[in-house]
Structures are given as C-alpha cells and as structure tokens.
Amino acid sequence: MSMPTQGSGLDSGYYADSGAPHTADEVRSSSIGELMRQVTTDLSTLMRQEVELAKAEIRQEGKKAGKAAGLFGGAGFGGYMVALFLSIALWAGLSNVMDAGWAALIVAVIWAVIAGVLYSMAKKNAERIRGLKQTNDSVQRIPDALKPHPEGVTR
C-alpha cells in the first residue's frame, strides 16, 4: 500500500470532519496504529452512510410501490364492478327468455366455471414455485441438526 502524496487528492481540509490527517506530511508522521484506526473509523462511517442511503431509497421506493398497489387495488375494484354489472345484465337478458331463477343459476354456473379454471391455474403456478418447498424442507431439518447425537458426527 503506497502512502498518499500531496497531489493525490488529499488536499488541506479533505479529512477535516473525521479528525484524520489532511496533508501528506501528517500522514507520513502518523503511526500505523493511528492510520488503521482512522481507516476503520472511515469505513465505519462509510458503512453507516451507505445503510442510511439504502434506507432512504427503500422508503422512497416503498412509497412508489404503495401508490402503485393502491392504483392496482382501484383497478381491481373497477374490474369487479364491471363483472358484477355485466353479470346482472346477463341475468336480466336471460330472464327475458326464461324464468329469472334459471337465468340467475346459469350466471352463477358460468362464474363457478371461471373460478374453477382460475383456481386450477393458480394451483399449477404455485406448485412451480420451488423456493418455498426447498425453504420448508430446510427449516424442517433444523431441529434434527440441533439435536445431540450420542454416536458423534457421521459422515
């Protein structure tokens, strides 16, 4: 590791806030222990600042995600209302050619078929999510790994 020089960016006042040397002569006159302490302090400060920056970015992105979720919720409610009123219109239209009770039953059966197809598709997609199964298997093995084995460690 080479020592910093005057022209390497360590201008006067560069480290003024951290108490670290701010000229090349001060760096040269510092002991290795002092320099290591200063590097450790600077790294600690940098990590804290990076964590704070990450928190601020997460809060900002969280607000955007919350707004998007609210808009999706509104769109979902709007879609529900459309499906509801189309179902009522279909029921009213069918009741012109048959009894209103049978028309309502037909609309309900149509929605039952749609729900069954959607459930089947959701179940197939859920089964494809391997991470949950692997995590569940790993978590179930933890208690066995923590139990003492009188015969010792097996290979």
Tens digits of per-residue pLDDT, 76-130?
Answer: 999 999 999 999 999 999 999 999 999 999 999 999 999 999 999 998 888 887 6
Between residues 101 and 22, the one the model is more confident about: 101
Provide the 8-state DSSP code for 98.
S
- Distance (Å, whole) CA 62 – CA 68: 10
Average pLDDT over residues 66-81: 93
Buried b / exposed e across 96-127, counting CB within 10 Å, b at 16+? eeeeeeebbeebeeeeeeeeeeeeeeeeeeee
**pTM (whole model) above 0.85:** no
**Residue where the block lists tokens 């179940």:** 123
pLDDT per residue as tens digits for the range 7-18: 444 444 444 455
For residue 15, how many C-alpha atoms fall within 13 Å in the half-sphere facing its CB? 17
